[in-house]
Chains A and B, each alone.
Chain A
Amino acid sequence: MFRNQYDTDVTTWSPAGRLFQVEYAMEAVKQGSAAIGLRSKTHVVLGCVNKANSELSSHQKKIFKVDDHIGVAIAGLTADGRVLSRYMRNECINYNFTYESPLPVGRLVVQLADRAQVCTQRSWKRPYGVGLLVAGLDESGAHLYYNCPSGNYFEYQAFAIGSRSQAAKTYLERRFENLADSSRDDLVKDALMAIRETLQGETLKSSICTVAVVGVGEPFHILDQETVQQMINAFEIVGEQEGPAAEPDDASGQEAAAEQGGSTDEGVAPMDI
């Protein structure tokens, strides 16, 4: 995407009918470190790559518990993500206080999307620069949603956002048909493998990733480092030493080129998909 005369204000349309500021906000999501989510009929797993700036610092918190039955993973401007998580927690608490019942995740996601939309239609605001993968349970089962800075939201069986997420998406596309009936542990394994895809050959360790689970009978919680490392060891996920690792690297190289090509032409605006 290149600078043009219609991209200064969020309230200015381009002649092709695009809001460039909103699209730039979605770019910010692509720059953040990867976050992935996948679900079965009864469980949802969220995972993200957590790289600290330096060895001295701690890493950014990218997965937030919103309620016992809802959690969110973010990619992009983490400060915006933190603020939105606070809003989501508030909504859940208020609903629970009035109705003594958990807020259905589908309704929370719509409220969140409506808030994001407001920021795309006020001249004195800017769109949120964060994409949210919302994992939660409601009456109809387990759900995974993606909330976009544009104010759109989509439901997914599995999804990945952030930098090098295409590699994870490719892996998930191969696996998603079997996910619905996966066991909880298989789901976590798939999440770890998807995270590994985004690392492009770097060794997967529990110190650079975070995994969280929510499911029927299992409140949302982040798995502790030890458990994650044990699972990594158990599934023998070790960088380039596995055969299948070679394929995704080639595929992801091609995908990355295609992605950049697609975004420069005046095609369909990303938020309209």
Chain B
Amino acid sequence: MNFTASKQPENCLLGPESDSQRTLYPYVTGTSVVALKYKDGILMAADMGGSYGSTLRYKSVERMKPIGKHSLLGASGEISDFQEILKYLDELILYDNMWDDGNSLGPKEVHNYLTRVMYNRRNKFNPLWNSLVLGGVKKGEKYLGTVSMIGVNFEDNHVATGFGNHLARPILRQEWHENLSFEDGVKLLEKCMRVLLYRDRSAINKLQIAKITEEGMTISPPYSLKTYWEFAAFENPTQGAVGSW
């Protein structure tokens, strides 16, 4: 009997090298995405930052993309995984279009497809490290949902990812109502994004707002929010502070 160990190839999935095949931590990440339903469709906002750990490294990352005719996808988390998801969806929409039969995948179908993808990856311990927001309008019906990297999915009138859940959702719960006009919707989103800008260290002051309606999708050019720093307490922050030496 031969007990000598056989030589394993370098990319073997057995043994200590197997974990290098799986996603363990994210590298380049996007921060919150916030979205809400309004009168004509969905409004979604995301800044254009791609952080590399604590460094705000990339400042022109588009984190919202149209999917087919009816949907809009926004992502936070690992940017390369978002790009991978866009490739999957591109193929999905392509095959859908190739049927050329008057049927098309709406936002609900795309949302559920993404949920399946995310959940299956999570089961293999190799997640796509993203929190996704999927919104769209089809045949007059507005749809807005979210999927996380572990496959948690739900729909709501307003959703957010990451820090947005803690800072933006409470504002939306207070101030969102059915049939917001476009201007009111944008104002509400900007209010949320401003809070995130002040309080989320991975947020940058360069954002886009995307709108999707029955007619189609438009995305604003990047712009900045006005911020206010002239609070008295900021003038001389250490005045009156008690020191230990």
Which residues of A are at the interface with B, using a C-beta cutoff of 8 A?
Answer: 97-101, 104, 106-107, 110, 138-140
Contact = CB atoms under 8 A, between A and B. Distances in A.
16 contacts: A98-B113, A98-B116, A99-B105, A99-B109, A100-B108, A101-B106, A101-B108, A101-B109, A104-B103, A106-B102, A106-B103, A107-B101, A107-B103, A110-B99, A138-B103, A139-B104
Nearest to A107: B99
Contact of A99 (B99, B101, B113): B113
A139 B102 contact: yes
B208 interface: no
Interface of B: 99, 101-106, 108-109, 112-113, 116
A144 to B, nearest CB: 16
Nearest to A138: B103
Nearest to B109: A99
Nearest to B99: A107
B109 A100 contact: yes
Contact of B103 (A97, A98, A139): A139
Contacts, number: 32
A38 to B, nearest CB: 21
Contacts of A139: 102-104
Contacts of B101: 104, 106-107
Given A98-B112, A101-B109, A106-B102, 12 more contacts: A97-B116, A98-B116, A99-B105, A99-B108, A100-B109, A101-B106, A101-B108, A101-B112, A104-B101, A104-B103, A107-B99, A140-B102
A98 B103 CA distance: 16
A134 B98 CA distance: 22
A115 B104 CA distance: 23
Contacts of A98: 112-113, 116
Contacts of B106: 101
A139 B105 CA distance: 11
A139 B113 CA distance: 19
Nearest to B104: A139
Contacts of A138: 103
Q: Nearest 5 A-B pairs (CB), nearest first?
A: A99-B109, A100-B112, A104-B103, A140-B102, A101-B109
A194 B96 CA distance: 38
A138 B106 CA distance: 13
Interface centre among B99, B101, B104, B105 (most CB of A within 10 A): B101
Interface centre among A101, A107, A138 (most CB of B within 10 A): A101
A107 B105 CA distance: 13
Nearest to A105: B103
Contacts of B109: 99-101
Contacts of B116: 97-98
B103 to A, nearest CB: 4
A74 to B, nearest CB: 24
A100 B113 CA distance: 8
Contacts of B102: 106, 139-140
A101 B106 CA distance: 9
Nearest to A140: B102
Contacts of A110: 99
A98 B106 CA distance: 13
A83 to B, nearest CB: 25
A88 B216 CA distance: 34
Interface centre among A97, A100, A138 (most CB of B within 10 A): A100
B155 to A, nearest CB: 11
A99 B112 contact: yes
A28 B100 CA distance: 33
A99 B114 CA distance: 9
A140 B103 contact: yes
B7 to A, nearest CB: 41
Contacts of A101: 106, 108-109, 112
Nearest to B110: A99
A191 to B, nearest CB: 26
A139 B231 CA distance: 57
B95 to A, nearest CB: 11
A110 B109 CA distance: 20
Nearest to A101: B109
A270 to B, nearest CB: 26
A138 to B, nearest CB: 6
A98 B110 CA distance: 9
Nearest to A104: B103
A142 to B, nearest CB: 13
A97 B120 CA distance: 13
Contacts of B105: 99
A139 B103 CA distance: 6
A134 to B, nearest CB: 14
